Structure 1
Amino acid sequence: MERSTFVYDGDCAFCTRCAEFVERRIPTRARVLPWQFADLDELGLTEAECDEAVQWVGLDGSRAAGPDAIAALLGSSGRVWRIAGAGLRFAPVRAAAWPVYRWVARNRHRMPGGTAACSLPQADRERLYGPPGG
């Protein structure tokens, strides 16, 4: 692996919008890509992990999920974003971030840019819309 990787759910419009924001506004050398187009075996990730939360695989092999992955991504970025990432790793903030992240993940189909497909488990999305990347 040549660089760190941030993986998100490309079938979810809300997640895709967030990833597009990262690509436009957050200066990072990490790859930002949908898990449906990632080599999960190379990254050491499973579809289930990626369907559950965003994932971070560091160049050093470190791994993180959910808000911890977001903190790692921010930590790999420019100065202001690194400060935000450090704040997200601060124990009280991190403790609050997980329940908020889980709530957003469960309700992502209701978020701006979200679609009904965002609320379906991967197996149901494949049944309705076909396999990833297909």
Structure 2
Amino acid sequence: MKDRATENHEEYAIVLIDGVCHLCQGLTQFIIKRDPAGAFRFASLQSEIGQELLRQGGLDGDSPETMVLIEQGRYYTRSTGALRIARRLRFPWPLSYVLILIPPFLRNLVYRWVAKNRYRWFGQSSECMVPTPDIRRRFLS
């Protein structure tokens, strides 16, 4: 039996983000504005649902240094997840998917550098972002 965290997740992709990171919150808004079809749903890595999804995917729930994309039951992290998100956004963002040709260890060097410095560069909140009523349906709770 599926729990509410994973119910109907085959209908859309799920993006798990660090809910207290300003960069991650900004990227969530960026995705929403460029995803008019509503293909993505969101949850915080720190939330109960986020933690359950991480456990189901065999990922560590204690290190929010990566975003996670769950697409058709498969888990993608770091630059691969980001590029897979970009390819489903409104034009011109799908063009960036060509970067998938760069070996992951090189792509992830850049990803890890940004992830390591994101709080210093962009700041962090003491709480997760509260979605506005018009986009609340896009957030798992």
- Superposition TM-score, scaled by structure 1 size: 0.68
Question: Structure 1 pair 104/30, CA: closer, same or farther in 2 (3 Å)?
Answer: same
**Alignment size in residue pairs:** 112
Q: Secondary structure at the match of 1:10?
A: coil
Structure 2 residue aligned with 1:15:
24
Match of 1:56 among 40, 53, 69: 69
Segments of structure 1 that go 5 or more residues without pairing to the other structure are 118-134
Q: Once the 2 structures are TM-superposed, how far is the Cα of residue 48 of structure 1 from its aligned partner?
A: 2.9
Segments of structure 2 that go 5 or more residues without pairing to the other structure are 1-8, 127-141
Identity %: 23
**How does 1:31-110 map onto structure 2 within 5 Å?**
31-37=41-47, 39-40=49-50, 41-42=52-53, 44-45=56-57, 46-48=60-62, 51-58=64-71, 60-84=72-96, 86-92=97-103, 94-110=104-120
Amino acid at match of 2:15: F
Amino acid at match of 1:6: V
Q: Which of the pair is proportionally richer in helix?
A: 1
Q: Secondary structure at the match of 2:62?
A: helix
Name which of structure 1's ranges 38-47 and 5-14 shifts more when overlaid on structure 2. 38-47
Supply the distance in 1 between the matched residues of 2:112 and 2:53 (Cα, whole angstroms).
26
Two-structure CA RMSD over aligned residues (Å)? 2.5
- Superposition TM-score, scaled by structure 2 size: 0.65
